[in-house]
Amino acid sequence: MPYITADDGAEIFYRDWGAGGSPVILSHGWPLNSDAWESGARFLAEHGHRAIAHDRRGHGRSSQTWNGNEMDTYADDLACLIDTLDLQDLTLVGHSTGGGEIVHYLGRHGSSRVSRLVLVSAVPPLMLRTDDNPEGLPIEVFDEIRAGEAADRSQLYRNLADGPFFGHNRKQDVDQGFRDAFWLQSMACGHRGAYECIAAFSATDFRPDLEKVDVPTLVIHGDDDQIVPFEVGGKRSAALIDGAVLKVYEGSGHALPDTDRDRLHADLLEFIDA
């Protein structure tokens, strides 16, 4: 299996499918890994693109480091992957926490290698409610997730999969396979990495990064997202990125790469090939 070595020696797993077309990096959400994007990676590779997806440090098959479980290091790991593979004319696609990772990469490393950006149910600009971010979610929401992670993370992941992550608590219509895959990927995440990543995705202020985005950007968000509410995430990110295109999936929740995959794949391909 392919790995790259990060600056501190951590081993970052990645998959690299397809050849010939422009490269696309697919960045996953918390507490998942690159398997969350396997359907999208296969679709893009079958349609002429080089689809690359990595396991963020602490997640999946990558090193479970004690330190570095925060956005600066996540973005620097991504830069190491992009530089090692010498990727150009790159499209960055990020779901949920992955959206924060790719935006922070642009903020720290610039867009010289990047041509397009796609945010899917993404955590920017800032999830946490603060004095200058009153639209955010109260810290008690994230403290409850931390408490569940610390006490019985297996049950926490079951509760998320059976409830708000897929929106299964709304209609009871999400296949068991999707929910089982979420739990399996989540349990492959290191305990410390998963716990610390809660602060990384909720309390990192991505507003300065969004101001630096200077490539065509597509923002996709469901208006019934219970994890990153549309008013907190996609709507505000689209407003902060100059020229961003916003697509709202009416009635859809957070897990668009699974629940809305056909529509999402079509929108990704149309945007990348435009």
The DSSP output letter for 133 is: B
Six token digits for residue 67: 């330190």
Crossing angle for the helix pair 71-84 and 97-109, to the nearest 10 degrees: 70
Strands 245-249 and 217-222, sheet pairing? parallel
Q: Is residue 260 within 8 Å of 249, Cβ to Cβ?
A: yes
Alpha-carbon gap, residue 258 to 39, rounded angstroms: 8
Alpha-carbon gap, residue 174 to 162, rounded angstroms: 8
Is residue 54 annotated as part of the catalytic site, yes or no? Answer: no
Is residue 202 annotated as part of the catalytic site, yes or no? Answer: no
User: Which one of the listed residues 27, 96, 121, 186 is annotated catalytic?
Assistant: 96
Alpha-carbon gap, residue 245 to 108, rounded angstroms: 23
Alpha-carbon gap, residue 22 to 274, rounded angstroms: 12
Is residue 254 annotated as part of the catalytic site, yes or no? Answer: yes
User: Which one of the listed residues 77, 209, 225, 258 is annotated catalytic?
Assistant: 225
Query: Please, what is the Cα angle at 73 between 178 and 156, to 5 degrees?
Result: 35
Alpha-carbon gap, residue 25 to 14, rounded angstroms: 10
Side chain identity, residue 265: H
User: Which one of the listed residues 59, 104, 254, 265 is annotated catalytic?
Assistant: 254
Report residue 230 CA to chain centroid gap: 15
Q: How far apart are the first and last CA of the chain?
A: 33
Six token digits for residue 45: 């590779």
Catalytically annotated residues = 96, 225, 254
